[in-house]
Amino acid sequence: MLVALLFAAGTLAACSPGSRQANAGETAAAHASSASGAARAAAQALPPPPANAFASTPVQNPVLFVTQVPTDGDVFASRLSTFANHMTSMTSVPRGGGLVIRYPDGSLRDLTREAGFGMDGRQGANAIAVREPTVHWSGTKAIFSMLVGAPAQQYGGTNGRWQMYEVSGLAQGQAASITRVANQPAYNNVSPLYGSDDSILFTSDRPRNGAAHLHPQLDEYESTPIVTGLFRLDPASGAVRMLNHAPSGAFSPVIDSYGRIVFTRWDHLQRDQQQDAGTSGSFDFESEAADAAPAGTRADVFPEARLGMDSPYGPVGNYHSNIFMPWQVNQDGSFEQTLNHVGRHEVTFGFLGRSFAGDPSLSDNTDTSLIANRKFISQYGGLFHLREDPTQPGIYYGINTAEFGSLTTSQIIRLSGAPHLNPEQMVITDASPAPSGAGLSGGRFRNPLPMTSGHMVAAHTPSPHASADIELRLRQVVGTPGTLAAGPALTPGIVRSVSWWTPDSLRSFEGALWEIEPVEVAARPRPPHTSEAVLQSPERTLFASEGVDEGAFRSWLRAKDLAIIVTRNQTSRDRSDRQQPYNLRVPGGTQTVANGGIVYDIAHFQVLQGNLVRAYRNSTSGRRVLAQPIDTGANPGNPLGPDGSVRIEADGSTAAFVPANRALTWQTVDSNGVPVVRERVWITLQPGEIRTCGGCHGENTRNQAGQPEPANAPTALRTLLRHWKQSGTRPAPRDGSAPLLPPAL
């Protein structure tokens, strides 16, 4: 896979609400269309499903899982919701469950009860809820999140947070011991797992920079509290480091056999619908500072308007974004992108909608002949709970479900995502039967777990719909991908009788607890610890020719909390993206033109950062991200371009210092500052990272003119390195931080 930034200007384009029905029609047409010879060959190169993928013999290894008192259906922002599932109210997550292990002989142990946590009856100070265990590589211990405490009386409260704990004594005959993980943030820390180096990785609602007044971060859609991204805790030093900043949340991370952190991210970069509605009392602060003054209500400027807009290029289509996509990031937080750079052209293919409605050379529909995938994933849901099959590296199982009303349950899908596959070769298939008009006749699944022994288990309900009174039981999954079905239950049902204050009213439950989030208790090989790759030859040659030591340069970047984005040719775009302009030219410089039509001049590359400055008078607390131009104070001056921009050089290249550990997005604009091609997702870079892309929306195989990825030595990087050496003391950034001083060379 070529190193490429996710310049997914069209890749993650979404359609308007009015085109939901059109999508359904386009889906049928896309399924009926035949792949090109190249796509057919790519599909044939994929590993076929084994003859009998998952054994029907008894499960051979212990299974660790969670029990949960059911909620009243898919309560908004509750424990099994697709997002905002870290909320701690008694309505969101009733207490009374625990952490249970099931052995091959069928015997069960409630490890939390053994270790002194949890209670029956009226829930109080020792009440717990548990979530998302992960077993250590050795198979001898596990890490999980636990919430302790419940209101002891009506209108009572609790300050409980999800915190990470480790459990040992997993073998039969051993005594369970549970200890709280030291040095973790004093926020909701969920989805924990062990890194290849035994660091602890997790998601959290800790503010991006740890500033308490920015808590909670509010998502870009419902303005609901959300986890802010992935974090890393070094148990030895207690250091906490953010690996990515996700404005609408990151969920269910795992580490695959290649060492990648694979997770689901909610991609929702759009203008604020609460402000558009005019009923929420939205307003902005001057900055993220604790003492920042309110600044009234700024007009959103990025990306395109949700309701459509005009531009010098004619009407601009209305733009919405709402999908849960598979993502990857190295364990050091570098190289964040969708899994293998897959995007909507390969996943939610069909109708996407052109950006400039009056340009006849642009297309409203994707070209399905370029891709092997024929499984359509809705833009109003996505892929959840991905787990790699340990017997088939690069094959992942997950749940394809809707955003609301699902309890994150539905059919099981199978995804080919080995690193050597580019998005045109990736395939999603039905592992269990797809929904029909009557729902899922074989029931609904959650948390599919392929095991080292060749078995699969999953949470399952026989209900075809996610109704308010469903059961979720842990069952063996048997059969061949395409027809997987629920087999025997792994437990006889774990029954509890509990009651709790909501805190307004007294609620009660008596019956079988939900059984969810299974993990296999077995030793596993440690994957490699993934980190940033070395520079490719064109960029490495430039550093050498300019006499800049790469190591010293990266150290300076880390000290200043900066990274660099380098693009070799902004006029080069992936051949599949015909929804945004693809006939591009740098005035007086290079151009890449495909099949005629309007040729757009692009003169500047503008980078925007996600600032937590949007708030709402009708909400008690929290901030939403707003896209605003970067202001590092380090880039060469660009007086003819908009704020936060650098000039596009004659060879099409750009290079810019950008803030690290903060969500970024970008666009190319013409000489008048009018946007031409927009990025439509957020990307986070790590301090010291040098991220290189061949072209805008990096080429999967060929660009719009049938050419391979650009391999030129980017002139803009040379310009940036010379500016860095010669600049001396830079002006202080607008946020008042220290000026940037390059070291003597």
Express each pLDDT in 188-205 by its tens digit. Answer: 999 999 999 999 999 999
- Measured between alpha carbons, how far is 633 from 739 in angstroms, rounded to an integer? 8
- Measured between alpha carbons, how far is 496 from 484 in angstroms, rounded to an integer? 31
**Encoded tokens for 624:** 């939403």
- C-alpha angle 383/354/43, rounded to 5°? 45
**Encoded tokens for 309:** 């807009």
Predicted local distance difference test score (pLDDT) of residue 31? 32
Which of 69-73, 441-445, 500-504, 552-556 comes out lowest in average pLDDT? Answer: 69-73
Digit-coded pLDDT (tens) for 90-103 = 999 999 999 999 99
| Rounded alpha-carbon distances, angstroms, from residue 474 to 130, 139, 215, 432, 494 | 16, 21, 36, 16, 11
Digit-coded pLDDT (tens) for 438-489 = 789 899 999 999 999 999 999 999 999 887 678 999 999 999 999 999 999 9
Predicted local distance difference test score (pLDDT) of residue 249? 97
User: Given the DSSP bridges, would you call strands 121-122 and 108-110 parallel, antiparallel or unpaired?
Assistant: unpaired
Predicted local distance difference test score (pLDDT) of residue 728? 58
Q: Which residues contact 382 (CB under 8 A, 6 or more apart)?
A: 264, 266, 323, 324, 325, 400, 401, 403
Find out whether 490 and 477 touch, Cβ atoms under 8 Å: no
Residue bearing the bigger pLDDT, 91 or 379: 91
pTM of the predicted model, to two decimals? 0.91
- Measured between alpha carbons, how far is 337 from 423 in angstroms, rounded to an integer? 12
Which of 40-49, 72-81, 342-351 comes out lowest in average pLDDT? Answer: 40-49
SS (H, E, C) 229-246: EEEEECCCCCCEEECCCC
Sign of CA dihedral 231, 233, 238, 241: negative
Predicted local distance difference test score (pLDDT) of residue 73? 75
**Encoded tokens for 511:** 């019956």
- Whether pLDDT at 8 is above 50: no
Q: What is the pLDDT averaged over residues 334-346?
A: 94
Please give the CATH topology (third level) of the domain spanning 33-273+300-520: Neuraminidase (2.120.10)
| Rounded alpha-carbon distances, angstroms, from residue 527 to 6, 258, 336, 498 | 25, 6, 18, 42
Digit-coded pLDDT (tens) for 131-167 = 999 999 999 999 999 999 999 999 998 889 999 999 9
Domain limits, CATH 2.120.10.30, in the chain: 33-273+300-520
Residue bearing the bigger pLDDT, 697 or 652: 652
Find out whether 450 and 391 touch, Cβ atoms under 8 Å: yes
**Encoded tokens for 428:** 């999603």
Left if phi > 0, otherwise alpha if psi is -120 to 50, otherwise beta: which for 214? alpha
- Residue 25: CB atoms within 10 A of its CB come to 12
- Residue 376: CB atoms within 10 A of its CB come to 20
- Whether pLDDT at 522 is above 70: yes
Q: Which residues contact 430 (CB under 8 A, 6 or more apart)?
A: 375, 411, 413, 414, 481, 482
H/E segment holding residue 556? helix 550-559
Predicted local distance difference test score (pLDDT) of residue 313? 95
Helices 537-545, 715-726: inter-axial angle, 10-degree rounding: 30
- Measured between alpha carbons, how far is 146 from 189 in angstroms, rounded to an integer? 9
Digit-coded pLDDT (tens) for 583-601 = 999 999 999 999 878 999 9
Residue bearing the bigger pLDDT, 31 or 712: 712
H/E segment holding residue 717? helix 715-726
- Measured between alpha carbons, how far is 55 from 267 in angstroms, rounded to an integer? 36
- Whether pLDDT at 2 is above 50: no
User: Given the DSSP bridges, would you call strands 690-696 and 562-573 parallel, antiparallel or unpaired?
Assistant: parallel
Predicted local distance difference test score (pLDDT) of residue 48? 54
Find out whether 85 and 131 touch, Cβ atoms under 8 Å: no
| Rounded alpha-carbon distances, angstroms, from residue 472 to 62, 431, 466 | 19, 19, 10
- Measured between alpha carbons, how far is 29 from 93 in angstroms, rounded to an integer? 42
- Measured between alpha carbons, how far is 610 from 242 in angstroms, rounded to an integer? 15
Find out whether 447 and 385 touch, Cβ atoms under 8 Å: yes
- Measured between alpha carbons, how far is 323 from 10 in angstroms, rounded to an integer? 14
pLDDT range class, residue 239, cuts 50, 70, 90: very high
